[in-house]
Amino acid sequence: MRQAPPVTSHVASRTHKFGGSSLADAARIQHAAQLVDDGTQRRVVVVSAMHGVTDALIGLAHQAQRGDDWLPGWQALKQRHLDTARAVTGAGLDAAIAADFDTLHTRLVDIAPRAPLAPAESAWIHGLGEVLSSRLMHAALGGEHAGWLRLDAREVLVVHPGELGVAVDWEASRRRLAAWRSTRDVRQVVVTGFVASDAQGRPTTLGRNGSDHSAAIFAALFESDALTIWTDVDGVLSADPRLVPDAVCLPMLSYAEACELAYFGAKVLHPQTMAPAIQRELPVHIRNSLNPDAPGTLISASSTAASAGASGTPVKGLSVAQGLAVLELSGGGLIGVPGTAERMFASLHAANVSVTMISQGSSEHSICCVVDAAQASAARAAVEAAFAEAIAEGQVQGVTVTPDISVLAAVGDGMVGKTGVAARLLSGLAQARVNIRAIAQGAGERNISVAVAAADAQRGLRAAHAAFWLSPQTLSVGLIGPGNVGQALLRQLVQAAPRFSGDHDLDIRLRAIANSRGMHLADKALDPSSAVDALAGAEPLDLERFTEHVRAEHLPHAMIVDCSGSDAVADRYADWLAAGIHVVTPNKHAGSGDWTRFQSIQAAQRRGGRFRYEATVGAGLPVVQTLRNLLDTGDALHGIEGIFSGTLAWLFNKFDGSRPFSELVLEARALGYTEPDPRDDLSGTDVARKLVILAREAGLALSMEDVEIENLVPPTLRDLPLDAFLARIDEMDTDMQRRLGDAQERGGKLRFLACLDADTARVGLAVPEPGHASLHGQLTDNLIQFRTARYPDNPLVVQGPGAGPDVTAAGIFGDILAIAQTFGARA
């Protein structure tokens, strides 16, 4: 096997620590033994129990206490170690392992059912896994013949309980280690992790996950130059990968950053591991024994090289502490009263309640802290007792407890003195609709902590992780209406996806698709190139379930793209927006339909998700945005006029009398310029809807009933079945030819225009004055003129192709990206 590459320059001595996952079986143990061959002169290897063994030993002790049959579990555990030992070194360890298990057997027999187990006896049983593991690793390294010694940590490591956990008696431990070394040539040694002795020589442990602490302790006792902790991940990650799959491995951390992340639950590190390393300025490497080529994470005293995380962000990582509650003491009598905080926290200390986070406003009206949920009742009782008199007199309103709380912490040395860090965190949470219950930042500026509802924790963590560019901004998307425009959008998503995920930190994740009959909901993501095919076996359409699926709690942002043209779907917009779901659509019903519904949508947008509908008016042209910019900058609208239909633009650009009008309509239908039923275009209704949308955008309470609409389809043809209409479409020609002739006699041309001014809202045929911009459009060009106070005589014109699925899809895509930018995507 290839030796693991060094992470830092050569050191004279190194301590290695292997966790249980790195020692899960014989193959892993032999692999770990090869990783130790790092070229150093002196090596110390600290080992945990094999994976799952400590839990099994604890289970055996509990079974013995309950009077249950523990023998099958004991036999299985013994056989596992014997099998592993034989795979590592033949039968050389059988006797030693059998003796250890015989002793365990005796101790389990001696446990009196339903009687308390002495702490020393419990510690001996719980720590046997490390003793067995040290034998296996010692043998895998070649044993004494290869110059390796084995040390049971209980012979030298002396600890005692402390206020902050287990504390090391360094003087006694150094003295005992010196005595142990005095009779041995100690250059290479395997040490049991997790276990220790108290001052009376009785077995004890460093607590669950204490092997990392053991490694740091023995690195200090043996005066190693570096400590490598081998685990089953590539290093310290920017967030818990179970909650944030896009979490990245951090190449470097300072001790302060590592301590913060460890306290808030970074699973790779035990919080107490850092103390011995900090005291000796010992560099600590976190590496993956299953992927030794990965460089891992270096934790050191210097933070200059590690001051910024991925993409230059000041935040290195984010962690979430769960299972908490907010305890709040409030009342006007607290204002300006000295000693309030002291009395509150003294009462919590007396009740042995640990405080995770503290927050108090400058008004001093209330003070709150975050405590473990299991201690919330005791904490409340303690504080109520401490302020009983003030509560009785009404000076203090009382003590409230808010359960189901998580604390999200952003950590990084690069936050120190950096403006805007808190703003970016809070903005990211706000965009994901995560409400903050309390906030705290230490004077060291390396940590900003916020308390949020537990139900929002994962969504908040992902939003914050993306806000600091540690992972792409993830947008959960549901598409309704995969017709021509919807499919064009899917094609554009396929083409753009690599660019956005690579250059713009944006992950547009299509998770649901629906048509009028059915829907398909994907657990992870749909490939846009084959999303329509997923509807072949679709389940019946249920917009409630569709909505719930798109608005996944584990994803920070959600959007529904409605390409359906359905009035019933438009009825859902207000509810979606109120729930924080962004809506993008070319569907004109919401913007031009029922006035009350339109007002509800506008109100929901102000307090919830964003509503973008650029494609409702000019396909991919920036018509709505141009009008919005004019009005937002203080301009006054005098009138709107123009060609709002690419279909009608093409027809009247082509209609010069050389060919019948009906023939042009049929050609436009064949080219895909018209709706399947051309009467939808010829009726003028679509143009009227666009005019109403712009009028409402300008603040006018205009509805379709207020618009004078000229329908080009003769009354006799309007209600026919489509086939019958197409068979008789030439009945339109006589009147259209007459209208054209009248225009030509006046030296003009026909155009289908929409007009809005102070007195009129009209769509229909017109003969524009010479020089009118509509006379110079190209084929399917839309052309919209805005006459405003700034542009009174020479109107501002927006012109370009206004028909076709590709340009409409481009308008929709533009709206998607515009919304993505509001929550931090660099699109």
Residues with a catalytic annotation lie at 690
Assess contact for 446 and 411: CB atoms under 8 A. yes
Token couple for 614: 């650029």
Q: Quick one: 723 exposed, middle or buried, by C-beta within 10 A (0-12, 13-18, 19+)?
A: exposed
Write phi, then psi, for 118 (nearest 5 degrees): -60, 140
Write phi, then psi, for 292 (nearest 5 degrees): -65, -15
Place of tokens 């259209």: 736
Q: For residue 334, which of 384, 382, 390, 385 has the smallest C-alpha distance? A: 390
Residue 777's SS3 state is coil
Q: Quote the CA–CA distance of 447 and 639 in Å, as a whole number.
A: 54
Token couple for 486: 């919807």
| Nearby residues of 416 by Cβ (< 8 Å), 6 or more positions away | 444, 445, 446
Categorise residue 699: left if φ over 0, alpha if ψ from -120 to 50, beta otherwise.
Answer: left
Place of tokens 């608005």: 551
What spatial distance separates the first Cα and last Cα of the chain, rounded to whole Å? 45
* Vertex 773: Cα angle to 770 and 778 (nearest 5): 115
Write phi, then psi, for 95 (nearest 5 degrees): -65, -45
Write phi, then psi, for 542 (nearest 5 degrees): -140, 100
| Nearby residues of 145 by Cβ (< 8 Å), 6 or more positions away | none
**What is the radius of gyration, based on Cα positions, of the chain?**
36
Write phi, then psi, for 46 (nearest 5 degrees): -105, 130
Assess contact for 812 and 485: CB atoms under 8 A. yes
Assess contact for 1 and 31: CB atoms under 8 A. yes
Token couple for 140: 């895998």
Q: Quote the CA–CA distance of 161 and 671 in Å, as a whole number.
A: 83
